[in-house]
Structure 1
Amino acid sequence: MFDVFKTYLLDKISLTDEELERIRTVSIIKKLRKKQYLLQEGDVWKYDAFVASGCLRTYSVDEKGNEHIIGFAVENWWTGDRESLLTGQPSRFNVDAVEDSVVILFIHTNFEQLCKDIPAFNNMVNAILQRSFVTAQNRIQAALSYTAEEKYLNFVAKYPGFANRIPQSMIASYLGMTPETLSRVRSATAKK
C-alpha cells in the first residue's frame, strides 16, 4: 500500500529515492474494516493520515444520538482531527470507515521532521492545508446560505461518485438535512 502513497507523492513533487525511503520507514499501514474506528471521541489524535483506499467519515454525535458528519475522505485524501493533533486535547470527533479502507499513518513528530528535512514535502503539505482551508470556508458558506436543493446539487457537482459510495443517510447528515428531505430533493432534481 505504500506504493499508492508513493505514486501520489511523485505525481505532486519530485523526491529522491533516499527521501522516499525515509518517508516509507516512518509510515504505518493500518487496515480498517467497514465501521471500524480510526479515532474515537475523547481520544487524542496523534497522526497525519493518508487514505490509500476506501472511504472514511469524520463526525460527532449529539446528546440525542444524532450524527453530524463534517467530512468524508476517500483515496488520496487526508483525514484526522487537526484540532486535537495541534492542541493535544481530546477529540470531539469520531473517524470511522464507511467501507473497508487502508490508511497510511505518520506519528505527527515524524511527519513534522519529514517536513523539516524534505522541503518539497513541506511545500506539498502547506498547499494541501491551504486548499483544505478554502474548502472549509466554502462548506460553511454553503451551509449558511444554500437551499437544500442547492446544497445537494453542489455536493454532487463537487464530489461526483460519492452518491454511489456513501449511504444516503450519511449524505443527508453531511448536508445538514433529514434523509426524508434529501429523498425529496433528489426526486425533485431528477425530474428537472
Structure 2
Amino acid sequence: MDVDSSINKVCLILPEEAEEMELVVFHRLDNIVNEAPASFAQARIWLDERIRFDPDKPQIAIYNMPFVYRLQPDHTLSTKQLHHALHLTVNKHLSLHTSLHFDIDKNLLMQRVTTHDHKNNNNMFSIIETTYETDEQLNKILHDEIRNPHLFDLDQGLIFRCHLVYHKRISSNDLLSDKDVVIFNFHHAQ
C-alpha cells in the first residue's frame, strides 16, 4: 500500500456525491427585485468619490481594498481552478456584481444586481496577469492596486478583480508558484 497521500492527491468528493452535485441547480426566485435604493454607506462612498475628485480626472483611489497572498514554499495553485472558483464565488454573491447608478427620475442613488442578461458573464470581474523581477517592480504593482482610480467601474458593477503577478515569467503550465503573488482587489462601495 502506497502511503504517499499529499493533499493534492486526495479527493474529498465521492463519485456518487459528484453526480448528485451536478443535478443541483441554484437560481434566483422570480419575485426577487434586482434594483433597490443604495444603502447609506454606499451612497456616502459614491458621493464622497464625486465630491473629492473630479470624475473625469481622478488622481488617487481611496476605496480600493487589495488583499495580497503568496503560496507557501513548494506549493502550486492552478490558475484554471482559481478562475473557476472565482467565477462560482462572484456568481453566488450578488454584492460582487452590483452596480451603482443615480436615477434622475427618482432623484436617488440605486443599486442594481447585474445579471447574466445584462452582460457577458466573463466581464463580471477581471483577471490580470503581469510579471515582476525585482522587489521594486512588485512594490510598484502593489502601489498601483492601492492607488489606481481606474481599476473599477461602479456604474457597470465591476467592483472585483484578481491580479496574478508572476515572478519573472507567466507560467506556461497554468500554475502559480510560491514566488508568484495573487492580489484580490475590491472596491469598498460594495
Which band: TM-score by shorter chain?
under 0.3
Indicate the structure (1 or 2) with the bigger Cα radius of gyration.
2
Report the TM-score when normalising by structure 1: 0.23
Q: Which structure would you say has the larger RCO, counting Cα contacts within 8 Å and 6 or more residues apart?
A: 2
